[in-house]
Structure 1
């Protein structure tokens, strides 16, 4: 299989170089690397020139093409038809040496797969347990592994608002558990959504479906939108052997008010992509969960240091603004 790697970047010259060094150490090299840079300056371009990476195609886009989904679509247009699989990586990730090899093997084992996601290993501490293990309310057990459950999920359990589908599948009231709740078992799991910054797709799937440009700029939940739409056409998987690290570089992220507003509005959007006409109980639970998570974010103002207090209040205020905006201006679902 011929493999292309597309890296969309914005204001992160150092992380993208770190990522490319990890790509050079792969047991299976991509056949082509495309960098789509939406930065406001040329720092990334100059840094890449100094490193002199071979076989890297660099494109710096203008304001009209800037934004995660626009940059991804731009990169796809630069891929020729000889490519079979297109991989996407966030610019602040670092790969384990067998990342691409494990991804490609998944397509061989599951030839029906339209997409395969990778697996982040540096964010969650899991523990393997035996079949007799009984988790507490503060723990999450899945497929023989246990991890701590965050305070948000603990409270949701107590209120009957916990996700009622397995990780990687969206409940009827949304607010599900992401693929980060899949354990490091070495298995491949079928899902209906995975993270866009550690993703791969068949080129044929990308030719038939575009990334929605509704998700302007930072593009929160664009990956959920794309994979939920694609899963209606065919199978998606996450291979826990395709491992990498994600370091969440702070540069290039939106302000907290805008982020909070996106959490609500974009969250509503992807919920309706999956469930266009939810039942009333699902509507009640979506709003109840959104309200609960906003309230929890407000309580962080009382419990964290000064910087975190400010960020928590600003983000929570953005969530409230996003919530009320749905009353007068709901997003229009685009089928791209």
Structure 2
């Protein structure tokens, strides 16, 4: 997918259009966050076009998600099912995908909420047979003070290619105009959708354990090799990003280096130029942490870069 197509950002659904033949399974991986999960399910309940089924893939052995699922299933017209799984975001999503019965799977974070028209828009997108994935604009309350998704600093990462694509170092070129509709190569994990057959074909990489940092980029990049991924910038998904404010910044910084290095070697051609680009990326990320006054995270990130440890494969040669 060398060409990225930008669509008219004022597109609206035709009044007489119908996409009822496309079925949707919503997969929510959760781990002990009942309050957030309750809000996610409530937003789906008010959807103008309901899902055909919801699968709650629970990674907590003592979670209250089972009882919540049973209560939700008793008051909805669609199936809401609890599935027990070993913890790990990639593993839980694969578990849900394996048993989904619909044409399209919708991966929704347990701390995200959809507007009432979101699922209708997704169904409409899949009427195009070339579409294998679709997503929407993710709106979050937390972000970096310096170098946020649409900051001028972020524009430096977009040099050499179109927004919505990946650099040769495997880093996403963020959209500077987030309200457009266009084809892209990456989706944010809070709200991703894919045709079920293709989702099962590529799967989520379970080497990305736990939180699975960048698992969404890996999944969507590989999906984009199979067809088009449509971004609907005028459909907003609210994502609480519940773990952002309380995360351990040092551990997170180490994961950034480990996971990005792994995915760079996994998905992108290795050339002197791309390796130099990746090294520059790591250096920029260190500076980014310093600009945000995250000194300990910057030190941890630099240390992980110097040690050259690749996730699951040991030291790089």
TM-score by length of 1: 0.76
Distance 2:75 2:191 in 1: 21
Distance 1:331 1:256 in 2: 22
The answer for the alignment partner of 1:104 in structure 2 is: 123
Write out aligned runs for 1:53-132 (5 A): 53-54=75-76, 55-61=79-85, 65-80=86-101, 83-108=102-127, 110-121=128-139
Quick check: 1:165–1:176 contact (8 Å CA) kept in 2? Answer: no
Write out aligned runs for 1:185-200 (5 A): 185=180, 187=181, 189-200=182-193
Cα distance change of structure 1 residues 266 and 12 upon mapping to structure 2, 3 Å threshold = same
1:230 is displaced (CA, Å) by 1.8
1:197 is displaced (CA, Å) by 2.1
1:162 is displaced (CA, Å) by 4.8
Cα distance change of structure 1 residues 295 and 240 upon mapping to structure 2, 3 Å threshold = closer
The answer for the alignment partner of 1:288 in structure 2 is: 280
Quick check: 2:154–2:174 contact (8 Å CA) kept in 1? Answer: no
SS in 2 for 1:87: strand
The answer for the alignment partner of 1:276 in structure 2 is: 269
Distance 1:198 1:43 in 2: 23
Q: 1:213 aligns with which of 189, 206, 209?
A: 206
Distance 1:139 1:46 in 2: 42
1:73 is displaced (CA, Å) by 0.7
Q: Deviations 1:138-196 (Å, cap 9, x if unpaired)?
A: 999xxxxxx9615x437xx4xxx6542222200113333235x34214x3x11111112
The reply to whether residue 231 of structure 1 matches residue 228 of structure 2 is: no
Structure 1 unaligned regions, length at least 5: 125-137, 141-146, 302-311
1:43 is displaced (CA, Å) by 3.6
The answer for the alignment partner of 1:42 in structure 2 is: 63
1:58 is displaced (CA, Å) by 1.0
1:281 is displaced (CA, Å) by 2.6
Cα distance change of structure 1 residues 229 and 149 upon mapping to structure 2, 3 Å threshold = same
Q: How many residues are aligned here?
A: 287
Q: Which moved more, 1:6-15 or 1:248-257?
A: 248-257
1:121 is displaced (CA, Å) by 4.1
SS in 2 for 1:298: helix
Structure 2 unaligned regions, length at least 5: 1-21
The reply to whether residue 258 of structure 1 matches residue 251 of structure 2 is: yes
Distance 1:244 1:225 in 2: 21
The answer for the alignment partner of 1:297 in structure 2 is: 289
Distance 1:166 1:206 in 2: 25
Cα distance change of structure 1 residues 173 and 58 upon mapping to structure 2, 3 Å threshold = same
TM-score by length of 2: 0.80
The answer for the alignment partner of 2:165 in structure 1 is: 169
The reply to whether residue 8 of structure 1 matches residue 29 of structure 2 is: yes
Q: Deviations 1:9-28 (Å, cap 9, x if unpaired)?
A: 12211011001111011111
Quick check: 1:7–1:88 contact (8 Å CA) kept in 2? Answer: yes
What is the aligned-residue RMSD (CA, Å)?
Answer: 2.9
The answer for the alignment partner of 2:299 in structure 1 is: 317
Q: Which moved more, 1:165-174 or 1:45-54?
A: 45-54
The answer for the alignment partner of 1:20 in structure 2 is: 41
The answer for the alignment partner of 2:242 in structure 1 is: 249
Q: 1:149 aligns with which of 130, 133, 151?
A: 151
SS in 2 for 1:297: helix
